[in-house]
Structure 1
Amino acid sequence: MRRTYHLFPQNPEFERKFRFEADLPFLVRTIAGLNGQFGTFITDGPDRKATPIQAKRSIEVEIADKSVDFVPLNKNTLDPVIKDITPEGTIDFKINLQYSVLDANYNRVAFKGDTYLVRTNLDNRVLTMNIHLIDGLARTAPERIADTIVEEIKRKAGNV
C-alpha cells in the first residue's frame, strides 16, 4: 500500500537529514509512540495581545493511506499498518498539534493548533525528513517537529 500523500508540497519549509541505523517499521512504531504525548511551551496568547503564556501542546499522529488520505497512527492501529511497510522507502505523516491554556478559573481553553506534513525517506541508512506547515499559525517551528522525532528515535533506540 502506498504511504505517500499525493498533495505533499514540492518545496517543503524545512529539511533535515541524519544517519539512521534502523528500518522504516521501527520509524513508524517510534512516530506512533508520539501520539498522545504532551508538554508545555511559551507562546503568544490566543487573545491577540501578544502576551506570552504557558500553553499545553498535545500531539496527534496520522499516516498516509492509499496516497489520498490519512488515518490515525497510534498503538491500537499500529499492527495493520506495520504489515505493509518495507525496510526502506518513503512514508508521509500528518502531525496535528493541539494547544490549550488554563483560564483564570483553571478551566482548559483550546485555541488554534498547527498541522504539519512530514515526509520521511530512508535510503542507504540516511533518513531525510521534509516538514511543511499546512494549517495554523506556526506556534511550533518545523525544526521542533524534527527535533521531537529525532529525540524519540534516540530514546527508543536506547531501549531496544
Structure 2
Amino acid sequence: MDRLYYRFPQKVDLERHYGFNRDLKYLTRVMASMYGKSGHMEFDTVGPNVKRNPGTVKARRDVTVHIVENKLDFKPLSQITLPAILPEVPEKGTVDYRVTVGYTYMDKNYDKMSLVDDVFLVRATLDGDLTLKIAGIHGQGRTLPEEVADTIETVMEHFKE
C-alpha cells in the first residue's frame, strides 16, 4: 500500500534520481533519524522585523519529519514512532513525507525567537531507482529544496542501521 498525500502538488521545485539498492523501509528509517536534528552551524538570514532586527540575524535550523497517513494526515516520524509505522511502509512504491525546517535565533536581549518555518513535501518513489520530488509549500524560502535533497542524501550516506 502506497502512502500518498492526495494534495501533493503537480508542480515540484526539484526532482532528483539516485541509484538505490535498498527499500523504502530503509529510507523511512533514514528520514526518522533526521527528526529533531539541528544544523551544526548558524547561518545569516534576514530578520523577521526590520525595526527590532535590522539587517540579518544568526539563526539555527531544526528539522522535523512527518509521514503521510490516510492520504490526508501526517504523523510524526521519529525514532520513537518508527516501530509502529515501519510495518505499514511498502518495500517499493511511493511514500510521501513532510519536512519542516524551523528557525530560531537569539535577539539582542538574548531571548530565543523563532522565524517562519519552511515546509516541504517530499515524494519518494522506488521503482528500480529512487526518485525524490520536493515541493516547497510554505515559508519564506530560507532553505532551498536543493538543500533538503542534499541533507537527505548526506544522511543516507552516513546512516548506520
**Number of the residue aligned with 1:103:** 107
**What number of residue pairs does the alignment pair up?**
157
- Rounded Cα–Cα distance in structure 1 between residues aligned with 2:55 and 2:127: 44
Map residues 14-25 of structure 1 onto 2, 5 A cutoff: 14-25=14-25
**Structure 1 residue runs of 4 or more that deviate by more than 4 Å after TM superposition:** none
Per the normalisation by structure 2, the TM-score is 0.92
Answering whether residue 150 of structure 2 is matched by residue 147 of structure 1, we say yes
Question: How far apart are 1:41 and its partner, in Å?
Answer: 2.2
Question: How far apart are 1:42 and its partner, in Å?
Answer: 2.2
Question: How far apart are 1:100 and its partner, in Å?
Answer: 1.1
**Number of the residue aligned with 1:72:** 76
What residue identity is the alignment partner of 2:117? G
Which stretch shows the higher mean deviation, 79-88 or 30-39?
79-88
Q: Give the 3 Å change call, closer, same or farther, for CA 89–50 of structure 1 in structure 2.
A: farther
Question: How far apart are 1:63 and its partner, in Å?
Answer: 0.2
What residue identity is the alignment partner of 1:137? Q
What residue identity is the alignment partner of 1:83? P
What residue identity is the alignment partner of 1:45? G
Q: How big is the alpha-carbon RMSD for the aligned residues of Structure 1 and Structure 2?
A: 1.4
Q: Choose the corresponding residue for 2:95, options 91, 94, 117.
A: 91
Q: Is the 8 A contact 1:100 1:110 kept in 2?
A: yes
Gaps of at least 5 residues in structure 2 are none
Gaps of at least 5 residues in structure 1 are none
Per the normalisation by structure 1, the TM-score is 0.92
Q: Is the 8 A contact 1:38 1:57 kept in 2?
A: yes
